[in-house]
Chains A and B, each alone.
Chain A
Amino acid sequence: MSEHKGRYTFGMDYGTSDYKYGPITCKENPKVIENRGYFPDKESVMFKAFEKPKDVIVGEELPLYLQASEDLSTRLTYPMTNGVIEKNDERAWQVVYEISRHGLNAFKPEEKDFEGFHLVASVSSVSPKYMYEKLFEIYRQIDEEERLVKAATIIPQPFAVAIGHGITTCVVIESGHGNSQLCPISKYPIRNAVLAINRGGGDANALTAEILKDLGYGDLVQQEAFVRRVKESVGLIPIRLEEAVEAAKKNPDKFKAKFKVPGTRIVVDFEENSWMRFLIGEYVFDPNHDMFQSYFARGMRKPKDVKIGDTTFRGMLDFGEAIVQSVERCPVELQPHLYREIVLSGGNFSWKVPEKLEGIATDSMTKIRLLLKEKGITNVKVTMTKSPQLSVWHGCIIYGYAVPDDYAWNWERMEGWLKLYD
């Protein structure tokens, strides 16, 4: 491999909430900042006094500005909330430009002969072609201004996860806060089998909030951070929902769910309703059970099918059915190999199994295996990524380091290096 790529391969992961970036020399851990930008009030006298007032603030200094404005909803932009940026969403693209420039500049070497990084960016697998075009345009602009990018490429996040995890034929399921994406991989991402689900960690939070309201903690549910902590502390994935609920109703003491918010006097006690903790985990994997109907009937938002860009995000599809539908779009002889390597990635798959509840509660990997078994699919192996937060960035770095420099970008296969100047 070239000396240049051993020093200057650069990875960027545009996640829905975080942006991870850095060159190969960061070793295991890239820098992480929130994937968002703040548009300050440029009418301020001080903004006019400065030589180069910034249009968008990104990075570590952003929180300082948040307190200076009350109207955050109009000034704060999260460009990648669902993985797709509308073509004409100028503000979102401005944030992407600023955050990309910020990332590259943070690691700009001092060497005078530096010709730019080999940049590997990673975006959602449902990102349409125009997003790729727009991103390349942004990298070209940054390079023209500051000579920071020698060559660039863009790969889908599940593909990067598979590379980072070291598995060459698999199905990757990435489940984040807002949505989930499935992508089969066989040395290349199989793009026509990509499936998007309009359900993520945020929906489990919504159900937890409804449960807390029923238990008499309605005054606290406006605080999403509190709801999320209750979910993480109390929520469990049932092996089989009906059996788990029945067992918990019979023996509430064994299943008791009590959560004390550290540093406060607040204690959430499910008491005889501790069986409800199983609803939270089940909802992530399969929201179709009758037990959820009463929550929908009382006004809880039902995950809907939505069309974003050219992709339809399915709302109520359970993860087992989603895997089957995605795999069945692949060549028949490949399908058994794909079922044998299912890789889970993202914070929405991190669930605890208390020791004394083994046999009733389970982890994400087993739950997926069980859902597939119900569809008649056996001989399944499910694993979690070794580093759920960073596996995409790891994949970007390996991709950038290994792919030959003369492998030119091709719009048909959506791979290769786009040389920004020569």
Chain B
Amino acid sequence: MISSTEEKVKLYLMSKGMQPLSIDETLETEPNLSFNEANGSKVFVKIPSREELENRNAILSVILRATSFTRTANRVYIALPRTYAPMIDGAIIQEEGLGLIIYDEKTINEVIAPKFFEHQASSKSQENLDVAQEIEQLGSRISQLEQTVQTLRSEISQLKSIRPSVETPKTEKTETVRDGLPAFFRDNAWLDILSKRGREPERYVS
């Protein structure tokens, strides 16, 4: 299943002209996303899971594992949440030739550009590769279209079933206590005393 972070990173790299590819499941360690650039070079993206972000050592271990992608892909990115990025010295990522994408809820950007790794391939295998990539691209476009149609279909059926409502839903944060104050307000003698502050002579002892 594609996570929202994967979707966000995917859209970001597609906006840079890259075409998504399906993941090669024969790889020992799989990247989260794979792309083709216009010049035919391959791009892998590793997005560490929550468990892999547990501490600095875990993140370093992900970086080390991601360097193995450079044997297959021409460019490799690591994508980290913005709050975690300061834990890692960028020089380590740069030295390994990896690129760094950082993201938060609102923004996403490339902080370190990845190095280009050359890969030798015979002309025949390159030809086969090109055809296979083209098929992959077509397959991924078809599945995207199918997904869009499916989403639209379910949205239309939802709209049909919903009746117009006057009330707008309230968020947790801004819910009022009109329908009942917290339990610790109940029978609290201070409510009366405090509400008279400034309304009657003061008798405080200092």
Q: Which residues of A contact B (CB under 8 A)?
A: 1, 3, 6-7, 23-25, 27-28, 40, 44-47, 49-50, 53-54, 61, 64-65, 67-68, 107, 109-111, 162-164, 166-168, 186-188, 190-193, 330-331, 386-387, 394, 397-399, 401-404, 406-408, 412-413, 415-416
Known: A190-B205, A398-B190. A46 touches B182 (CB 8 A): no
* 10 pairs of A and B residues whose beta carbons are closest in the complex: A402-B194, A188-B204, A407-B198, A45-B90, A166-B188, A394-B184, A68-B56, A67-B55, A407-B197, A109-B174
Say whether A187 contacts B85, CB under 8 Å.
no
Say whether B90 contacts A46, CB under 8 Å.
yes
A47 vs B85: C-alpha distance when bound (angstroms):
9
A sample of 14 cross-chain residue pairs with beta-carbon separation below 8 angstroms, ordered by A number, consists of A25-B176, A27-B183, A46-B88, A67-B56, A68-B87, A187-B203, A188-B204, A387-B184, A398-B185, A402-B191, A402-B194, A403-B194, A404-B197, A416-B197
The residues of A that contact B199 with a CB separation of less than 8 Å are 404
Nearest residue (CB) in B for A191 is: B206
Task: Give the Cβ gap from A112 to chain B, nearest Cβ, in Å.
Answer: 12
Say whether B175 contacts A398, CB under 8 Å.
no
Q: Is B160 an interface residue (CB 8 A)?
A: no
A28 vs B176: C-alpha distance when bound (angstroms):
14
Q: How many residues of B contact A (CB 8 A)?
A: 43
A401 vs B178: C-alpha distance when bound (angstroms):
13
Task: Give the Cβ gap from B92 to chain A, nearest Cβ, in Å.
Answer: 9
Question: Which residues B20-53 have CB closer than 8 A to chain A?
Answer: 53
Q: Is B123 an interface residue (CB 8 A)?
A: no
The residues of A that contact B204 with a CB separation of less than 8 Å are 187-188, 413, 415
Say whether B89 contacts A25, CB under 8 Å.
no
Q: Is B202 an interface residue (CB 8 A)?
A: yes
A65 vs B199: C-alpha distance when bound (angstroms):
51
Say whether A163 contacts B190, CB under 8 Å.
yes
Task: Give the Cβ gap from B53 to chain A, nearest Cβ, in Å.
Answer: 8
Q: Is B177 an interface residue (CB 8 A)?
A: yes
Pick the contact of B187 from A54, A67, A166, A330 — CB < 8 Å? A166
Say whether B190 contacts A110, CB under 8 Å.
no
Known: A25-B176, A28-B182. A398 touches B203 (CB 8 A): no
A53 vs B199: C-alpha distance when bound (angstroms):
48
A329 vs B130: C-alpha distance when bound (angstroms):
90
Question: Which residues B48-105 have CB closer than 8 A to chain A?
Answer: 53, 55-57, 83-91
Say whether A107 contacts B182, CB under 8 Å.
no
A394 vs B186: C-alpha distance when bound (angstroms):
12
Q: Is B122 an interface residue (CB 8 A)?
A: no
Which of B90, B173, B183, B184 is packed against the most chain A CB atoms within 10 Å? B184
The residues of B that contact A412 with a CB separation of less than 8 Å are 206
The residues of B that contact A46 with a CB separation of less than 8 Å are 85-90
A407 vs B205: C-alpha distance when bound (angstroms):
18
Say whether B205 contacts A188, CB under 8 Å.
yes
Q: Is B111 an interface residue (CB 8 A)?
A: yes
Task: Give the Cβ gap from B89 to chain A, nearest Cβ, in Å.
Answer: 5
The residues of B that contact A415 with a CB separation of less than 8 Å are 197, 204
Say whether A166 contacts B190, CB under 8 Å.
yes
**Interface of chain B, main secondary structure:** loop
Say whether A47 contacts B177, CB under 8 Å.
no
Pick the contact of B174 from A61, A111, A399 — CB < 8 Å? A111
Which of B189, B194, B195, B199 is packed against the most chain A CB atoms within 10 Å? B194
The residues of A that contact B189 with a CB separation of less than 8 Å are 166-168
Say whether B197 contacts A403, CB under 8 Å.
yes
Say whether B198 contacts A110, CB under 8 Å.
no
Pick the contact of B86 from A47, A193, A416 — CB < 8 Å? A47
Task: Give the Cβ gap from B61 to chain A, nearest Cβ, in Å.
Answer: 13
Say whether B205 contacts A399, CB under 8 Å.
no
Nearest residue (CB) in A for B85 is: A46
The residues of B that contact A54 with a CB separation of less than 8 Å are 86
The residues of B that contact A45 with a CB separation of less than 8 Å are 89-91
Contact with A along B118-141 (1 / 0, CB 8 A): 000000000000000000000000
A7 vs B205: C-alpha distance when bound (angstroms):
32
A167 vs B111: C-alpha distance when bound (angstroms):
58
Q: Is B171 an interface residue (CB 8 A)?
A: yes
The residues of B that contact A402 with a CB separation of less than 8 Å are 190-191, 194-195
Nearest residue (CB) in B for A8 is: B174
A283 vs B62: C-alpha distance when bound (angstroms):
51
Q: Is B166 an interface residue (CB 8 A)?
A: no
Task: Give the Cβ gap from B190 to chain A, nearest Cβ, in Å.
Answer: 5
Pick the contact of A64 from B84, B172, B190 — CB < 8 Å? B84
Say whether B174 contacts A110, CB under 8 Å.
yes
The residues of B that contact A6 with a CB separation of less than 8 Å are 176-178
Say whether B173 contacts A24, CB under 8 Å.
no
Nearest residue (CB) in B for A1 is: B195
Say whether A168 contacts B174, CB under 8 Å.
no
The residues of A that contact B111 with a CB separation of less than 8 Å are 49
Say whether B195 contacts A61, CB under 8 Å.
no
Q: Is B193 an interface residue (CB 8 A)?
A: yes
Pick the contact of B190 from A25, A40, A109, A168 — CB < 8 Å? A168
Say whether A3 contacts B174, CB under 8 Å.
no
Task: Give the Cβ gap from B48 to chain A, nearest Cβ, in Å.
Answer: 13
Task: Give the Cβ gap from B193 to chain A, nearest Cβ, in Å.
Answer: 6
The residues of A that contact B177 with a CB separation of less than 8 Å are 6-7, 24-25, 27
Say whether A164 contacts B184, CB under 8 Å.
yes
Which of B111, B174, B195 is packed against the most chain A CB atoms within 10 Å? B174
The residues of B that contact A413 with a CB separation of less than 8 Å are 202, 204, 206
Task: Give the Cβ gap from A420 to chain B, nearest Cβ, in Å.
Answer: 19
A53 vs B87: C-alpha distance when bound (angstroms):
12
